[in-house]
Chains A and B, each alone.
Chain A
Amino acid sequence: MFRKTIGLFSLAIVVLLIAGCGKNKTSITLAGSTAFQPFAEKLAEQYMSTHANVSITVQGGGSAVGVQSAISGAAQIGMADLVVLPEEAKQLTPTIVARDGIALVLNPANKVINLTMQQVREVFNGKIKNWKEVGGADSPITVVSREAGSGTRSSFEQIVTEISLTKDALIQDSNGTIRETVANDPNAIGYLSHGLLNEKIRAIKIDDQECTTELITAGKYKIVRPIFLLVKGDPQGEVKNFIDYILSAEGQNTIKTTGLIPAK
């Protein structure tokens, strides 16, 4: 019986190997920021549809991985969404390709519509524990944050300042899981990339400023971070072409329609 299975298996491998031959493409790997990953995939899809000779792979991993893999060469382009780039990123050429607002989100069942920056700080520090303290219903606040090392979390904490996260905070490891957790819990508050808002959750105003593309562009909504593409040395060849494409009117338009803020 095993001989038969092994036979079938090796046959399958041979078929797959043959199927894999005959491709001769330039391949580019992007790695890093999970916040920018879905947009990068969309941009890559569009780019590949007009440039058949290029194959672009987009991987997540987080901003730290973006910096690391660009340095090590594991990826030609690193993606990072940090307010301040780390020291070791000095050897890389950064290009801001977009900006991203960080929205504070609640469950749609929650009636609170506005928090001041100070209130946000105290909620995440665990000083404000109940929604009634900020004008909501009498129910405990469930703080949802990102894991240590997340670019979104460090950006959020750097912009809001003086945050030492409450130990009661639930921790989720991506924008999507934050969104799901908040969507499932009427008492929850979390934060995520402005580009990933959807109908399951509701973004609130910070200091009476709504988290919209217009107000972010106008500089009125304060929680915004840049998105960097990092390349070792000067961008060349297809890598440069792809970055240029992202910065072109068409690329920036994609960024805008998918919910991010254009670089300029």
Chain B
Amino acid sequence: MRIHPRYTQRLAVTILGGATLLTLAVLVFIIVFVLEKGLPVVNFRFLLTNAEDMGRSGGIFTTLIGTIVLPLLAIIVAAPLGISTAVYLTEYTLETKVTKIIRFGTDCLAGIPSIIFGLFGFIFFVTTLGLGWSILSGGLTLAFMILPTIIRTTEEAVKAVPKSYRQVSFSLGATRWQTVKRIILPNALPGILTGIMLGIGRSIGETAAVIFTAGSSLRLPTSIFDSTRTMAVHFYILAREGLSSENAYGTAATLIIAVLAINLTAYWMMGRFIAKRS
């Protein structure tokens, strides 16, 4: 039996559209659920005062600092490494045994559970290198964790730059590096930024790897050798221990708003960049 293509078309659109709506509905529900319960708690006082009584009362200032510093450190380490790895793989070599091994390694690293990163960071940075539970240990562990994300997305973005661009650049006498620097990276930038954003997002939301490496101290860190607590960890502790559901929701809402702000900034930067070039 053959169903007319027009009907399969309609069926497909209905199913795909339904799946999309369901997905969006679930995701919107989660955001609304958290913001609705959390936003009333969030104000400047909440953001700028320290937690008291293990977080039962007071604000989240120190965890805000932790949440800014840890992902920042991770990106500073991982972004240059990841972008240059991707550029090397796509622009500088042909498919060889070595690139296959590198790709395999990257894919494997991407699949490593965060708890393994946590165990590793604990054994390597915290214990073996003697960095203790610190911002440094946590940031470096997170850098390891987001490296594959940045490599993969950069690779995709670089691959998406049309071949003809490179041909034109080479035919004008540009070297490979000049081509990469002036043609490929600028064209791939939106994709690269997406990768960096995904990396920041993953580090902000990470709990398992952070608890084992950066600890969960509520004190204000005075150096990168101090332990810190991120908002995600704070939320986890507040919510699970039932310390204060009010402050827990407030923390979660702040977290979501922070991520929203980061994303908007990135898109604004991207927009300005595109406008400048055209």
Contacts and interface: CB of A to CB of B under 8 A. Distances in A.
Contact of A17 (B54, B80, B223, B242): B223
Given A16-B223, A20-B222, A38-B54, A9 B72 contact: yes
Contacts of B240: 174, 176-177, 180
Contact of B222 (A17, A41, A42, A200): A17
Interface residues of A, number: 22
A174 B241 contact: yes
A218 interface: no
Contacts of B243: 176
A179 B219 CA distance: 27
A176 B76 contact: no
Interface in B201-235: 217, 219, 221-224
A6 interface: yes
Contact of B223 (A13, A38, A176): A13
A2 B79 contact: yes
Interface in B150-201: none
Contacts of A20: 222-223
Contacts of B219: 57
B69 interface: yes
A9 B241 contact: no
Contacts of B224: 13
A19 interface: yes
A52 interface: no
A164 B94 CA distance: 61
Contacts of A38: 54
A177 B241 CA distance: 5
Contact of A180 (B80, B222, B241): B241
B73 interface: yes
Contact of B242 (A9, A41, A42, A183): A183
Nearest to A23: B222
Interface string A1-23: 01001100100110011011000
Size category of the B interface is 10 to 19
A2 B76 contact: yes
Contact of B72 (A5, A16, A17, A180): A5
B242 A180 contact: yes
Interface string A157-189: 000000000000000001111011001000000
B76 A16 contact: no
Given A12-B69, A13-B223, A13-B224, A200 B242 contact: yes
A9 B221 contact: no
Contact of B80 (A2, A177, A183): A2
A176 B241 CA distance: 4
A9 B223 contact: no
B239 to A, nearest CB: 8
Nearest to A13: B224
B11 to A, nearest CB: 41
A87 B76 CA distance: 47
A52 B190 CA distance: 53
B244 to A, nearest CB: 11
A176 B237 CA distance: 9
A131 B80 CA distance: 60
A183 B221 CA distance: 35
A9 B222 contact: no
A180 B223 CA distance: 35
Contacts of B80: 2
Nearest to A37: B54
Contact of A19 (B73, B217, B222): B222
Nearest to A45: B53
5 contacts: A2-B79, A19-B222, A42-B53, A175-B241, A183-B242
Given A9-B72, A180-B242, A183-B242, 18 more contacts: A2-B76, A2-B79, A5-B72, A5-B75, A5-B76, A6-B76, A9-B73, A13-B224, A16-B221, A17-B223, A41-B54, A42-B53, A57-B219, A174-B240, A175-B241, A176-B241, A176-B242, A180-B241
Interface of A: 2, 5-6, 9, 12-13, 16-17, 19-20, 38, 41-42, 57, 174-177, 179-180, 183, 200
A-B pairs with the 8 shortest C-beta distances? A20-B222, A176-B241, A180-B242, A177-B240, A176-B242, A17-B223, A16-B222, A179-B242
